[in-house]
Structure 1
Amino acid sequence: MNNPKYSGLHIISKNSFIFPAAFLNAAGLFLINLGIVFYTHESFKAHAGTIGLLATLNQITYVLGCLFCNRIFDRIKPVYLTAAAALVMFVCSCMVFAVHSLAAIFFWFTLMGAGISFLWPPLMGWLTSGHKPAELSRLLSVYNMSWGAGLIISPFIAGMLASLSVKYPLYAAAVIFFLSLLLMSAAFLYFFRDKNGLYNVKTEGCLPENGRAGDFLRFPAWLGIFVSYSIMGLINNSFPVYAVENIGLGKNQIGIIFFFRSTSNVLGFLLLGFTVRWHFKKRLMIFVFFFLAAAVFLVGRAINPVMLSLLMVFIGLTASYAYSSSAFHCTVYSPRRGMRMAMHEAVISMGLIAGALGGGYVTRYFSFPAACSAVSLLSLSAMSVCAVLLLHYRRKNAVFKPAVQ
């Protein structure tokens, strides 16, 4: 029998390109995001407000790209889009350190956000096409560990290079994006003549008993990643300064605390890949909001590095569930996976922007503990909304059973 997944000359699977691409781009993005902070501050005397605006514009163009271009993600083959995105990201990363004005850096770094929007959604849509729930869960776990590994090692590389020169992290990011371009160009050439739909994300969405449940659960799942990444945005942007000035922690201690969070995040992805018990579980979705609310509230009041590390581990594990739940429930049984993943990525960025800007504002005019309390209240409010949504669905659809794996 001719299997479309392996017919023709496709000895190498699509995952051989997707997982390394996730690792490379996650590492490259962390390097350039951190490197541009040091570079613009030391070379152009940019203050915190200017740097924050630069990062926000990058995120806004990413969100706009995900929202307004999401329909083409299911119409143009992902391998074309990811190759184009890799080219744009490489060119923009080179121009960031090649130009000699802050305005030009703003232009190229903002444009880069639009390029990134053509990378992650199509890449995840390509990955998830044609898989049943149990297999999809394992693939997402490996994919999440791939980009998570990039986030674990890149802080060490960025810190080491930045201590030598503020431009070195930008150079390293450009090299990594060049490697990504080579990888995605190879994928483009390898699958160019594919006529069997290996990378076409318009799969036939078979809807078993809980197919409609999986489709509906994307809404509370998106609410979950918005809250969890709002917490991430607050912690990433406001916690380091607060920890140095108010608690007296050293920069190395802060780095270790963030390392624990990143590592627990990847560990969470690994654990979720080994089980399907969390699929379609409504009560677990509700409890996650309570756990996040309690954790971020305590972060604003803890002063011990060990306690802070433990809380970051808990936040990392909980955020990994929120991310995996969104990625799973918005793609399982859906024939529009590229579009769904674009929404998934857009919600993440909106959460980061809300946490960075809203949390930063509260921290500036009140305090970091007050910002943590505000985000904790947001999580509890989201828990109430989630409960109402799930109760409404339960009344409309008497019972939905777990998927047959």
Structure 2
Amino acid sequence: MTTDYRKQLLYLSALIMDMCVGIVLFAIPLFLIERLHASAFIIGLTGSLGALGYSLFCLGTGRLSDKLGRKKVVTIGLGIFISAYFLIPFVRSLFPVFILVILGGIGMSMFWPPLQAWVAESTEKKRLIESLGIFNISWSVGLMLGSLLGGILFPLGSGVPFYFAVGQTVVLLLIILQLSEVQKRPLPEELKTADENILIDKTSFLFIAWMANFVSWFIVIMLRNLFPVLAVNLEISPRVLGVLIFLIYFSQTGMFILLRRFRGWHYRIGPLLFCQGLASIGLIIGFFTSSILLFGISFILMGVSGGMTYFSSIFYSLDSLSAKGKKTGFHESILGTGALLGPLFGGLAARYYNLRAPYLLGLILLICAMLLEVVIYHNAKTVNRRKRKNL
């Protein structure tokens, strides 16, 4: 199998997987409301449990795939994901749903870090940003399609989205079984040393990107889980809801296309802070409005910020020569932790205050993160100046 053909199938795999994830993430809150009459807190808790399984296991699955191989770990993960979401339409109480979404999160944790490392291993270092751009566009388009399909499929029956997603995941499993592993070659010692020296200077940007991406996923997954409750209260139909969520990933995909083409944002804090500022404006709009149009603008602004933070996080995690599975594991675990805490704390805010409170919570967290990012950046600049003086 040629390297280019393998990469094309990996990109396709990312698209199919997140299309399926987008469908089930769209369907679960509505399923809980329709079938089990769940509150906003329970819906938020359910989203957090899935993220808990994901974030905890991501810490080990990337490293595990470094040892056992990408294909084996990804295949097991898909099997778990298929089993979990096939069973959800059959449950009649909350506890089995909790268990199954945790298993679904574990399945995803065995898919994404190994797949990202697989893409990076199939790419020359000088073409990493190009490959990551196509990869990011692929999974983001998948989420766009998933959001739209969820809005179309759910009115046909609350179990239909899950069956459709499971069927597509089976197709994905067949694709993965056709792929070959990348033959690993030991790095020359001089390259290892050079890479370590570079990473010392890049560490501050990696921490900043991880923090920014944590906050983005905290906010986006919180709203993705809880906005359907507000939408029901505002009498927004499932199809319109699907289009609104689609706009998050549409704008995110647009950012991935721009970031792939332009390199001026590498290791600069200004573009990151600007995009986070746009997300702040989006949260303020969402807090005050009941207009579908303004909700759409709000989601677009948050999608732009999410595209910037995710691309920064994965690029800085993989812009090195070794332990790619381990580093993508940390990258995914951090965003998974954001996805865990967002619905949980957002659900509490909605329960004890109102359905608009999660927007205010996200805004406060985002402003605090931006201030801390500036502090880390300026401290790193001070340390680097001192190092140069001592040379």
Shorter-chain TM-score: which interval? Answer: 0.7 to 0.9
1:218 aligns with 2:236: no
1:292 aligns with 2:284: no
Deviations 1:318-361 (A, max 9, x none): 21011000000111014122111111111212212222121222
* Match of residue 6 from structure 1: none
Higher helix share: 2
1:10 aligns with 2:2: yes
Aligned partner of 2:223: which letter? I
Q: 1:147 to 1:400 in 2, by over 3 A?
A: farther
* Match of residue 122 from structure 1: 114
Provide the TM-score with structure 2 as the length reference.
Answer: 0.87
1:241 aligns with 2:229: yes
> Which stretch of structure 1 is more off in the superposition, 89-98 or 319-328?
89-98
Any conservation in 2 of the 1:278–1:284 contact (CA below 8 Å)? yes
Aligned partner of 2:24: which letter? I
Which structure 2 residue ranges, 5 or more long, are not aligned?
none
Q: 1:277 to 1:208 in 2, by over 3 A?
A: farther
* Match of residue 27 from structure 2: 35
> Which stretch of structure 1 is more off in the superposition, 275-284 or 12-21?
12-21
Q: Which residues in structure 2 correspond to 1:344-363 (within 5 Å)?
A: 344-363=331-350
Any conservation in 2 of the 1:240–1:254 contact (CA below 8 Å)? yes
> Which stretch of structure 1 is more off in the superposition, 34-43 or 339-348?
34-43
1:160 aligns with 2:148: no
Aligned partner of 2:217: which letter? Y
Any conservation in 2 of the 1:141–1:270 contact (CA below 8 Å)? yes
* Match of residue 148 from structure 1: 140
* Match of residue 381 from structure 1: 368
Deviations 1:238-278 (A, max 9, x none): 33433553x66555443333222221111111111111111
Q: 1:164 to 1:133 in 2, by over 3 A?
A: same
Q: Which residues in structure 2 correspond to 1:23-102 (within 5 Å)?
A: 23-43=15-35, 48-97=40-89
Aligned partner of 1:241: which letter? V
Aligned partner of 1:299: which letter? G
Query: SS of the residue aligned with 1:276?
Result: coil
Q: 1:285 to 1:47 in 2, by over 3 A?
A: closer
Q: Pick from 322, 328, 341: which aligns with 1:341?
A: 328
> Which stretch of structure 1 is more off in the superposition, 153-162 or 235-244?
235-244
* Match of residue 316 from structure 1: 303
Aligned partner of 1:376: which letter? L
Provide the TM-score with structure 1 as the length reference.
Answer: 0.84
* Match of residue 272 from structure 1: 259
CA distance in 2, matches of 1:95, 1:101: 12
CA distance in 2, matches of 1:362, 1:265: 26
Could you say what the CA RMSD is over the residues aligned between the two structures, in angstroms? 3.0
Deviation for aligned residue 1:208 = 9.3
Identity %: 22
Q: Pick from 358, 378, 381: which aligns with 1:371?
A: 358
Deviation for aligned residue 1:198 = 7.9
Query: SS of the residue aligned with 2:68?
Result: coil
Any conservation in 1 of the 2:9–2:175 contact (CA below 8 Å)? yes
CA distance in 1, matches of 2:14, 2:376: 33
* Match of residue 101 from structure 2: 109
Q: Pick from 242, 255, 258: which aligns with 2:242?
A: 255
CA distance in 2, matches of 1:158, 1:378: 30
Which structure 1 residue ranges, 5 or more long, are not aligned?
1-8
Aligned partner of 2:170: which letter? F
> Which stretch of structure 1 is more off in the superposition, 351-360 or 20-29?
351-360
Deviation for aligned residue 1:181 = 1.0
Any conservation in 2 of the 1:152–1:259 contact (CA below 8 Å)? yes
Query: SS of the residue aligned with 1:56?
Result: helix
Deviations 1:59-94 (A, max 9, x none): 111111012444323222212211221222223333
Q: Which residues in structure 2 correspond to 1:386-401 (within 5 Å)?
A: 386-398=373-385
* Match of residue 175 from structure 1: 167
CA distance in 2, matches of 1:11, 1:377: 45
Aligned partner of 1:108: which letter? L
Aligned partner of 2:225: which letter? N
Deviation for aligned residue 1:213 = 3.0
* Match of residue 3 from structure 1: none
* Match of residue 218 from structure 2: 230
> Which stretch of structure 1 is more off in the superposition, 50-59 or 17-26?
50-59
